[in-house]
Structure formats: C-alpha cells, structure tokens
Amino acid sequence: MQRRTFLAACGVVAGTAGSMITGTAAAADAVRVDSLDGLRRAVAEARPGSVIVLAAGSYQVPAGEPLAITGKHGTERAPIMIKAASVGGVELTGEQSFDLTDSSHLVISGFLFRQSTTLEVPADCHHVELSRNSFRLADLEGLHWVMIRGDHSVVDRNSFSGKSTLGIFLGVEGGAGADVMAQGVKITRNHFTDHTFAGSNGGEPIRLGLSGRALGDAGALVELNLFERVDGDPEAISVKSSGNLIRHNTIRDSLGGIVLRHGNGNRVDANHLLGGRNGIRIYGDDHLVINNYLHGITGSGIVLGSGSVRDHLPGESPESRRGNDAPDRVTLAHNTVIDCGTGISGESHRTLPPLDCVLADNILVGAAGRLTNLPFQDGTAWAGNLFWGEALDGTAPAGGFRRIDPRLAAGPDGVHRLTQGSPAIGAASRRHPGVGHDLDGDQRGRLRDVGADEYATGRPRFRPLVAADVGPLAR
C-alpha cells in the first residue's frame, strides 16, 4: 500500500509513444500549396525539415496517379512533414492517396482519407508517422484500411470509423519472410468506432500480425486507444505476433475484446474493458496479463484457452500454425473482474490444457453465475484471489481464494477501487516479477494489494478513456 502522487502530466506514462511532430522546428518556413500538382512538386523538392501544407478543400486523386513519395528521407530531429492546412481541413478522395516507397522520418498529418484502396506503409520505409487523420475509406468487402509494414512507424491520434464489411481498420505485418514483423510500431491515442461487419471473423479494429508471423518478435506498443461499438469481430485487438505491450486501452460496449491469438511473450497491462461481450482471451506462452479491469462483460471476463497444438515452432506446416497454442507459463495476476458472465473461464473443446500457469491475487465479484469455470486444473496454480458476491465460486480450488468482501467503491469515473480497510490491502500472495504499477499508474508497494488497484487517496493518473482523450483533436 502507498499513497497516490498526482502528476501534472495526467494520462501520460514513461515510455509513451510520442509524436515525431514534437521537436520539429516550428519556425521552419512552410511550403504552402493549393493543388495536387503543387503538392507533388513540393514533395519532389523536400529535404529534412521541410514542411508542406496543403490548402483546405476536397481533392480527388486521379486513378493511376497517386501522390508518390519516393526516396524521401528526413531525420529524427528534422522529419519531412506533409500536413493539411488544418486538422480535418483536407479531404482526399479517389482510388489512392499517398504511395510511399523507400522513405523515412516522414509525417502525414491532418487529412480526411476517403480512398478506395489500402493506405500502406511498406517494408522499405521506416519511421513514418500517420497523425491526426480521419480514416473512413470506401466500405468495400475485404478492404483493409491501413497496413503498416515499415519499422518504427507511428499511428497516433487518428480516427477509424464506419465499416460494415469484411476487412480490418489497421493491420501491422512485415516484409518478406514467414515470421518477419515490422519492428517497434507504436499505436497510440486513436479512436476506433462503429465496425459493424456481421460475420464471425475478419473485422478487427487492430490486427497485430498474422498466423504465419506468430513467432515474429514485433515489440509493438498499443497504448491509450479507445474502442467503441467495434462489433466486426470478437477480437478488437487481435495479437498474432510476439513481444508486444498492450496497455491503458479502453474498450466500451463492443463485441471485441483483447485476444492473444498467436505468439508468445506478450504483456496485457492495465486495460479497461467495459460493458461488452468479450474480455481477454489467451493462447500461447509466457504472457503476463496484469492490472486489467473488466466490468459488465456478458461473456467471460478472462479466458485461459486450451490448445490444438502445444507450441508453435519454426518451419511448422501452415495448418499447424493456424491451430490454437495451449497456454504455457502464463501469469494472470492483479486483475479485477466485476459482474461478468463468468469471471475467469477455460475451454474444453480443445484437448491440450494450460501448463504451469499462475492465477493469483485477482479480485472476482459477481451477482450471478459463476466466478470461475476452468475444466483443466492440473496446469494452473491458484493463490491469493478474493471472491465476493452471489455468484458461485465455480471450479477454483478451495485453497486458491478467500471469500470476503473486498470493499470496493465506484469513483467518479465508474471504476470500483479499494476503500480504506479493504482486506485486499497488503494481502497479495507474492511479488510478481514485472508488476511495478497498478491500473491507475500508481507504484505497487512493498506489501502489494490484491486486484488491479493499489489503494491510494489521490487522483489516478489513468482512467477509462473518453472520446476527448483520443483522435485527431486530442492534445
């Protein structure tokens, strides 16, 4: 237990993806253009630090004549910037807008993208930032709206909205090679809304990898994004690669949840999942799922899956790679799960159980149903969990939990946190490696508290996101 220290930089965490725009010389003379031909000429002459501003208006890019950006390289301190005159003030229509090749340290900002083909950052580009744009591409069957293949790309403060057909809003893949993933991609402060594809698969807002790239270590950061009414797929954030960090995102009123579908060594930390149908679902090895807050999920809050294969291996067949990898060495700790259909559940329709997994120091509260329903118990270790409410205990072993009121109370943001005198305070069964902070961004004390919240009395650094926190107009 410790007291919370309020930081003026509310909502910002050390290591948060920053914008390349920050640090650009504001006094640099901008080249102002008012036509697509003028934009093409300015891009051809651009050099590090160039700022090109396109006048407000709607511009139709002719078929077969995209806005080519080829061989253009800014620097870390002096990126090349291509901007709308005001955020949202320039609409680009037609078949294709920007066509990037062999370029780096480039910022594209403030546009309304309304094209009918995918906007791609290819593998021969790197350090490309898409910032403060609105993506509402043609609602075509199978069209993916944005695809990132270039290393160290940034997708920040954009909006993605209004798709009813098969296809994803945003994908991250890589170049040639079966397991190659783009490295170090940052996806932050974006707003994903209203994906209404009615099929059972293929309408993810974010797809981070592919089955064939599951073993690719991507090192992506998906942070501080808001998802609302994203119903195109049970997976709002679909992770199909390894070594990624998914933290401080909010998913509201959506079919989709956070799914570690393929890959190993991912971290799901301090996310809010509120009032939807799917929570967090886990396959693969060596994941850390901590500090998450799930409230009112009609299905299971957290699913520790089962497998059709034990491990994905280099060189395996495509059929095996598509199979579900049974979870091994997964830690589920310090999560708070309230009034979900089932708090934590497993799967029995695949035959390979989880192995060497830890379910510890979570708070599960429910007014009905069951708090746990895991068919495989031999591969899981339970400790220090607190259960409360009218819901049945379910399959959790008697020594793995206490049934006691954790004394939670809702704050102004609706999040139920510990109150003074809670039996969760200082009661964690162990100090889990890598768990230094809680849901709110507060440091965990020497004697850690059970659940997602570490008791404190000050203002939280992090809270569930709302529309004003994300998208093109967010600060």
Q: Is 169 a member of any domain?
A: yes
- Regions of the chain short of the pLDDT cut 50: 1-18, 21-27
Cα–Cα distance, 405 to 360 (Å, whole number): 17
Q: Is 264 a member of any domain?
A: yes
Domain containing 58: what range? 23-117
The pairing of strands 408-410 and 416-418 is antiparallel
Same domain, 101 and 226: no
Domain count, the chain: 2
Same domain, 146 and 248: yes
Among the candidates 64, 99, 117, a domain finishes at 117
115 to each of 90, 92, 118, 230, 445, how far by Cα in Å? Answer: 13, 7, 8, 21, 51
Same domain, 268 and 129: yes
Same domain, 238 and 102: no
Q: Is 319 a member of any domain?
A: yes
Residue with tokens 């790309």: 153
According to the model, what pLDDT value does residue 379 have? Answer: 83
Q: Is 187 a member of any domain?
A: yes
CB-based contact 148:173 (threshold 8 Å): yes
Same domain, 126 and 91: no
Q: Is 475 a member of any domain?
A: no
E strand or H helix that includes residue 74: none
CB-based contact 7:461 (threshold 8 Å): yes
329 to each of 289, 349, 387, 401, 472, how far by Cα in Å? Answer: 11, 21, 23, 20, 39
Same domain, 303 and 171: yes
Among the candidates 61, 85, 117, a domain finishes at 117
Same domain, 384 and 261: yes
pTM for this prediction: 0.93
Same domain, 38 and 68: yes
Looking at residue 257, its amino acid is: G
Among the candidates 93, 117, 141, a domain finishes at 117
Same domain, 150 and 61: no
Same domain, 268 and 414: yes
According to the model, what pLDDT value does residue 19 have? Answer: 53
Residue with tokens 């020594």: 399
Cα–Cα distance, 175 to 373 (Å, whole number): 41
Q: Is 36 helix (H, G, I), strand (E, B) or coil?
A: helix
Length of the chain, please? 475
Same domain, 80 and 142: no
Q: Is 11 a member of any domain?
A: no
Domain CATH number, residue 352: 2.160.20.10
CB-based contact 20:79 (threshold 8 Å): yes
Provide the phi-psi class of 357: left if phi over 0, else alpha when psi is between -120 and 50, else beta: beta
CB-based contact 117:98 (threshold 8 Å): no
Residue among 50, 39, 173 at smallest CA distance from 111: 39
Q: Is 77 a member of any domain?
A: yes
Provide the phi-psi class of 424: left if phi over 0, else alpha when psi is between -120 and 50, else beta: alpha
Same domain, 38 and 78: yes
Q: Is 474 a member of any domain?
A: no
